Amino acid sequence: MLLPVLALACGPTRSTSVIIDAAAELKAAKTAQSAAAAPYEYAAAESYLHKAREEQSYSDFEVAERLAKKARDCARLARSRSEAQTRSDLGASARSVTSDAVCRAGPMQKQVPLHELEPADTIDIRTHSVEPSEPEDRPTPKDETDNEGAEE
């Protein structure tokens, strides 16, 4: 009898936990003055956290958890950039920061680093997926003029 109750409570518990983590990361980013050093990431973190809380209020816990994770990642990236800027301003040596946080709009999926893209690759801005370019099979202008002459 207790097992079904625990299964139902899992969604609200996980989403609440991630929302709390995201809120803590956002507070840390605010303390690091990220709004000035990394305005996009900071604003994105605020927006994602707001939307996560909204979705949780509608009992859409999976979406709330996913949005809260994006908010947490954006806040981490904002804080990281702000701290790096502060170290640079103070003349301190740049410390190597390794973070797996990614702050991009759209659905969460594997991101392709920009340096791995070929110049002719197409990026779908809705999904951030990369489609390799393929040679076009269109006739060349010379072929079109040959076809026009054949019709006459």
Q: Is residue 89 part of a domain?
A: yes
DSSP state of 58: T
Taking CA atoms, 53 is separated from 40, 62, 120, 147, in Å, by: 20, 12, 40, 62
Distance CA 2, CA 46 (A): 37
Examine the pLDDT at 86 and tell me if it is beyond 50. Answer: yes
For residue 132, what pLDDT is reported?
A: 53
Q: Is residue 147 part of a domain?
A: no
Taking CA atoms, 41 is separated from 27, 126, 137, 152, in Å, by: 13, 18, 41, 62
* Beta bridge mates, 130: 123
Percent helix, strand, coil in the chain (nearest 5)?
A: 65, 5, 30
Q: What percent of the chain has pLDDT over 70?
A: 60
For residue 25, what pLDDT is reported?
A: 96
- Boundaries of domain holding 62: 11-108
What average pLDDT does the segment 89-99 reach?
A: 71
Residue 134 pLDDT level (bands cut at 50, 70, 90): low
More confident residue, 134 or 138: 134
More confident residue, 113 or 83: 83
What pTM, to 2 d.p., does this model score?
0.63
Q: Is residue 26 part of a domain?
A: yes
Q: Is residue 116 part of a domain?
A: no
Q: Is residue 129 part of a domain?
A: no
Q: Is residue 127 part of a domain?
A: no
Domain count, the chain: 1
CA 65 to centroid of chain Cα atoms: 14
Distance CA 44, CA 34 (A): 12
Q: Is residue 2 part of a domain?
A: no
User: What angle, rounded to 10 degrees, do the helices at 61-90 and 39-57 form?
Assistant: 160
| C-beta of residue 125 within 8 angstroms of C-beta of residue 142 | no
Burial of 67 per CB tally in 10 Å (0-12, 13-18, 19+): buried
